[in-house]
Amino acid sequence: MNRFEYVRAGSVAEAVAAGAAPGAAYLAAGTNLLDLMKGGLATPATLVDVTRIPGLSAIESLPDGSTRIGALVRNSDLAHDPGFAARYPAVAEALLAGASAQLRNAATTAGNLMQRTRCPYFYDPASACNKREAGAGCAAIGGATRLHAVLGFSASCIAVHPSDLCVPLAALGAEVEIEGPAGSRTVSLTAFHRLPGDAPERDTVLEPGELIVAVRLPPEAAGFAAHARYLKVRERTSYAFALVSAAAMLRLDGGRIAEARLALGGLALKPWRAEAAERLLAGRAPDAAAFREAAEAALEGARPSGEATAFKIELARRIAVRALERALAGTPERVPALPASPFSAPLANPLPSSGAIAHA
């Protein structure tokens, strides 16, 4: 690990001032950053500790019906907050499907957005990686690609984004509140993460010194509470990143789909919101044919980044259909013991939109 300076910020303004210095990085729980530093993959000159900044650890219901999640809200606190879980059950389900309980007790909302890819070539200093070193090449291309992208990749990078939380947030139209040397700005979550293009070393649209202060869910996001699910396929049931995941939400009216939301994970370097599929479902009867068409639309343009990734395209179609079917069946009163797993038995007693969600 490289030698570094340590600064503890007492306010957002202090953090931004320190974070604007060349080579500075923000530190919250450090569940990803410290691992990267230990492996020599991140070498910040200064760590700016933001964990003591007041006002960044609150979950707030705003007068306009939106919900503001502070950047330092712990994943476990967000998932187990009764009011939040009742309004956004797919977000809670995604959080409980991610990492271990120990990590969820430490990891923060902003840190989840900022975590880096788990591509093994990125983590191997002996392998060429454009994400780690611009212009170095991509050893993953032509290598072992089972975990890699089928959407949005480029000749420079075929990695995927690892977050569970970001998938339902993208489906619900979340926005990221940012403070920086140039002032405040808000960016939609779907625009926050960058596809690799020819600059894969840049994960997000953040400029030097900019700090995430909150994530905001719009008022209409709570309207999907009665029919919302997150589904995750992983190589082992516990503590694994998604091969493919899907967040599906439906708002029903008179036996038809008034509005749908669908986003996929594990397929690209950002959560993939399937807006074409959402438009296709609007006004349709919620049946198998509509769900299959939506899945096809969601994966339009998908192609393997290597021979080993071809299976992910069909797997993603099937998981999208299953997530929509589970959303149609209704949000369960209790999250299954294996949250977000396709092997969890469907649960009865759909949750009313005003109900509370418990955890098995």
pLDDT at 345 over 70: no
CATH code: domain of residue 334: 3.30.390.50
Q: What is the pTM of this model?
A: 0.94
pLDDT at 355 over 60: no
Total number of domains constituting the chain: 2
pLDDT at 100 over 60: yes
pLDDT at 27 over 70: yes
pLDDT at 346 over 70: no
Q: How buried is 193 (Cβ within 10 angstroms: 0-12 exposed, 13-18 middle, 19+ buried)?
A: buried
pLDDT at 318 over 90: yes
Residue 53 has phi, psi (to 5 degrees) of -75, 120
What is the mean pLDDT of the segment spanning 279-302? Answer: 98
Within a domain: 236: yes
The proportion of the chain whose per-residue pLDDT surpasses 90, expressed as a percent, equals: 89
DSSP state for residue 283 in the 8-state scheme = T
Nearest Cα to Cα of residue 229 among 242, 213, 248: 248
Q: How buried is 196 (Cβ within 10 angstroms: 0-12 exposed, 13-18 middle, 19+ buried)?
A: buried
Give the model's pLDDT for residue 261. 98
pLDDT digits (tens, 9 = 90+) for 189-240: 999 999 999 999 999 999 999 999 999 999 999 999 999 999 999 988 777 8
pLDDT at 140 over 90: yes
Give the model's pLDDT for residue 60. 98
Q: 179 or 357, which is more confident? A: 179
Give the model's pLDDT for residue 282. 98
Give the model's pLDDT for residue 344. 74
Residue 272: beta bridge partners?
A: 264
Within a domain: 172: no
How sure is the predictor about 5, in pLDDT bands with cuts at 50, 70 and 90?
very high
DSSP state for residue 35 in the 8-state scheme = H
Within a domain: 161: no
What is the mean pLDDT of the segment spanning 279-303? Answer: 98
Within a domain: 212: no
Residue 356 has phi, psi (to 5 degrees) of -110, 150
Give the model's pLDDT for residue 236. 84
pLDDT at 349 over 80: no
Within a domain: 247: yes
Within a domain: 62: no
Whole domain around residue 282: which residue ranges?
A: 225-359
Structure tokens at 252: 């029903």
SS3 state of residue 154: strand
How sure is the predictor about 56, in pLDDT bands with cuts at 50, 70 and 90?
very high
Within a domain: 85: no
Within a domain: 345: yes
CB-CB contact of 296 with 317 (8 Å):
yes
3 φψ region: left (φ > 0), alpha (ψ -120 to 50), beta (else): beta
Question: How much is the mean pLDDT over the chain?
Answer: 94
Q: How far apart are CA 232 and CA 184, in angstroms?
A: 35
CATH code: domain of residue 9: 3.30.43.10
